[in-house]
């Protein structure tokens, strides 16, 4: 196997991989029909039809040698025409050796930049229009991939594998994910079944539009899901079974949980500002009015605190309007991309 591609931090990807051909364009030719996937006689796990097109599989990995040892042979056997990209995010175990033994393409980060950074690297180098992201720790079942792609054929631009409740790692994560799902559903105005699932199929040209918004840490699913909803790209969910991971999790419950909560608020303020600022403004205003009524009835005066609360509600409302205008700037190219998608479907 040729030398893996080593990626300097925060630069375009220098270095070389002899058998790795960087795509000349991110978009397929208009009107070009996807190459059908050959019939697979051993794909009986979910009784799903053959995969209808070529696609890329991106596996962000940091010290995931144990999971990749089991996962890569199954992926190569079940999806021989898929492009498999492993992004090694500064692993110190045998991750690279496992990939070399399985003869898959590897992109190396010189040190651990983050799971989100590995996802962005893989998205930049994926050559197919449809990209499947999945964890390298063995939690995601390769036999679920056809279900995601079948849903994509129905006109969706992102399909997320929603973990069943009984497959969550712990009751705390089940509770936390439920809270995040409800909060994100409120912020976007759409029902979100699994906000933090890393198992998803996306349209690559849409996903790459939001790479600059994705964090380098573990919360790329949160940002990308809310960005797709805000951009009016259809998103669907497919129930999946998440197995127990191989090796130790890199997610710290309290620290990363607080970070997820803050990211939801940040993304909500970025994509749906009025859904965040309007309730706050309304609460401040009603509190100010209530306090004014109390002081007027008990002391016969208009207190300074009432004035502060009412003015704060006004300023919060104006900030929300300004944020809404700024938010619209992120979607200047979305309409043209949607028209291009429509023209492509008509040509097919």
Residue 10, pLDDT > 50, answer no
pLDDT, position 18: 35
Q: Residue 16's pLDDT is what?
A: 35
Binned at pLDDT 50, 70 and 90, residue 13 comes out as: very low
pTM of the model: 0.70
* Confidence grade of residue 189 (pLDDT, cut at 50, 70, 90): confident
Instruction: Over range 299-312, report the average pLDDT.
Output: 90
Q: Which pLDDT band holds residue 9 (cuts at 50, 70, 90)?
A: very low
Instruction: Tell whether the model's pLDDT for residue 266 goes beyond 60.
Output: yes
Query: Which of 79-88, 139-148, 172-181, 281-290 has the weakest average pLDDT?
Result: 172-181
Is a pLDDT exceeding 90 seen at residue 282? yes
Number of Cβ atoms within 10 Å of the Cβ of 280: 15
Specify whether the CB–CB gap between 323 and 281 falls below 8 A: no
pLDDT of residue 254 exceeding 60, the answer is no
Smallest CA-to-CA distance from 15 within 25, 7, 23 is with: 7
What is the fold, at CATH topology level, of the domain defined by 5-268?
Spore Coat Polysaccharide Biosynthesis Protein SpsA; Chain A (3.90.550)
pLDDT band at 19 (very low <50, low <70, confident <90, very high): very low
286-318 burial code (b ≥16 CB/10 A, e <16): ebbeebbeebeeeeeeeeeebeebbebbeebbe
Tally the C-alpha atoms within 13 A of residue 266's C-alpha that lie toward its C-beta.
Answer: 14
Q: What integer pLDDT is reported at residue 65 of this predicted model?
A: 92
Q: Is the pLDDT of residue 293 over 60?
A: yes
Which of 210, 216, 23 lies closest to 109, judged by CA? 216
The answer, yes or no, to whether residue 295 has pLDDT greater than 70, is: yes
Question: What share of the chain in percent tops pLDDT 70?
Answer: 70
pLDDT of residue 95: 92
What is the rounded CA–CA span in Å between residue 17 and residue 22? 10
Q: Which of 143, 252, 98, 133 is nearest to 204 (CA)?
A: 133
User: What share of the chain in percent tops pLDDT 90?
Assistant: 41
For residue 186, the model assigns a pLDDT of 80
> Could you tell me which residue, 299 or 176, shows the higher pLDDT?
299
Distance CA 201, CA 159 (A): 5
Contact indicator for 201, 130 with CB cutoff of 8 Å: yes
Give pLDDT tens digits for 112-125. Answer: 999 999 999 999 99
Q: What is the mean pLDDT of the chain?
A: 78
Please, what's the b/e burial string for 166-175 (b: 16 or more CB within 10 A of its CB; e: otherwise)?
eebbeeebee
**Per-residue pLDDT tens digits for 197-245:** 889 999 999 999 889 888 887 778 888 888 888 888 999 999 988 776 5
Q: What is the pLDDT averaged over residues 63-75?
A: 92
Report which of residues 4 and 183 the model is more confident about.
183
Q: Say if CB 224 and CB 210 are below 8 A apart.
A: yes
Mean pLDDT of 332-342: 62
Looking at residue 253, its pLDDT comes to 52
Give the pLDDT mean for 63-89: 93
Which regions of the chain carry the CATH code 3.90.550.10?
5-268
Token code pair at residue 62: 């940091």
Q: Residue 29 has what pLDDT?
A: 44
More confident: 217 or 348: 217
Q: What is the 3-state secondary structure (H, E, C) of the chain?
A: CCCCEECCCCCCCCCCCCCCCCCCCCCCCCCCCCCCCCCCCCCCCCCCCCCCCCCEEEEEECCCHHHHHHHHHHHHHHCCCCEEEEEEECCCCCHHHHHHHHCCEEEEECCCCCHHHHHHHHHHHCCCCEEEECCCCCCCCHHHHHHHHHHHCCCCCEEEEEECHHHCCCHHHHHHHHHHHHHHHHHHCCCCCCCCCCCEEEEHHHHHHHHHHCCCCCCHHHHHHHHHHHCCCCEEEEEECCCCCCCCCCCCHHHHHHHHHHHHHHHHHHHCHHHHHHHHHHHHHHHHHHHHHHHHHHHCCCCHHHHHHHHHHHHHHHHHHHHHHHHHHHHCCHHHHHHHHHHHHHHC
Residue 252 predicted with pLDDT over 90: no
pLDDT: which is higher, 63 or 26: 63
Instruction: Give me the pLDDT at residue 169, please.
Output: 52
């Amino acid at each position: 196997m040729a030398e893996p591609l080593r990626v300097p931090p925060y630069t375009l990807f220098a270095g070389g991989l002899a058998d790795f051909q960087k795509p000349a364009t991110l978009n397929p030719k208009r009107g070009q029909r996807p190459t059908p996937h050959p019939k697979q006689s051993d794909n009986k796990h979910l009784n799903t039809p053959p995969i209808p097109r070529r696609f890329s599989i991106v596996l962000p990995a940091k010290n995931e040698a144990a999971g990749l040892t089991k996962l890569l042979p199954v992926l190569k056997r079940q999806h021989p025409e898929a492009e498999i990209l492993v992004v090694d995010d500064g692993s110190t175990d045998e991750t690279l050796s496992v990939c070399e033994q399985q003869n898959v393409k590897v992109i190396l980060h010189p040190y651990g930049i983050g799971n989100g950074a590995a996802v962005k690297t893989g998205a930049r180098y994926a050559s197919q229009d449809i990209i499947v992201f999945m964890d390298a720790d063995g939690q995601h079942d390769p036999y679920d991939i056809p279900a995601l792609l079948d849903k994509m054929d129905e006109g969706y631009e992102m399909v997320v594998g929603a973990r069943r409740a009984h497959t969550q790692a712990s009751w705390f994560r089940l509770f936390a994910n439920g809270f995040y799902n409800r909060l994100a559903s409120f912020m976007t105005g759409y029902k979100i079944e699994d906000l933090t699932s890393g198992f998803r199929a996306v349209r690559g040209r849409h996903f790459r539009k939001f790479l600059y918004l994705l964090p380098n840490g573990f919360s790329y699913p949160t940002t990308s899901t809310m960005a797709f909803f805000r951009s009016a790209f259809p998103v669907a969910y497919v129930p999946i079974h998440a197995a127990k991971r191989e090796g130790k999790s890199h997610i710290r419950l309290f620290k990363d949980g607080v970070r997820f909560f803050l990211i939801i608020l940040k993304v909500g303020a970025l994509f749906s500002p009025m859904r965040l600022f309007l309730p706050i403004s309304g609460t401040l205003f009603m509190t100010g009015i209530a306090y004014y009524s109390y002081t007027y009835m008990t002391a016969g005066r208009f207190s300074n605190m009432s004035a502060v609360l009412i003015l704060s509600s006004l300023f919060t409302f104006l900030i929300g309007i300004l944020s809404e205008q700024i938010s619209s700037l992120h979607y200047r190219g979305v309409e043209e991309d949607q028209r291009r998608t429509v023209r492509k479907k008509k040509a097919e």
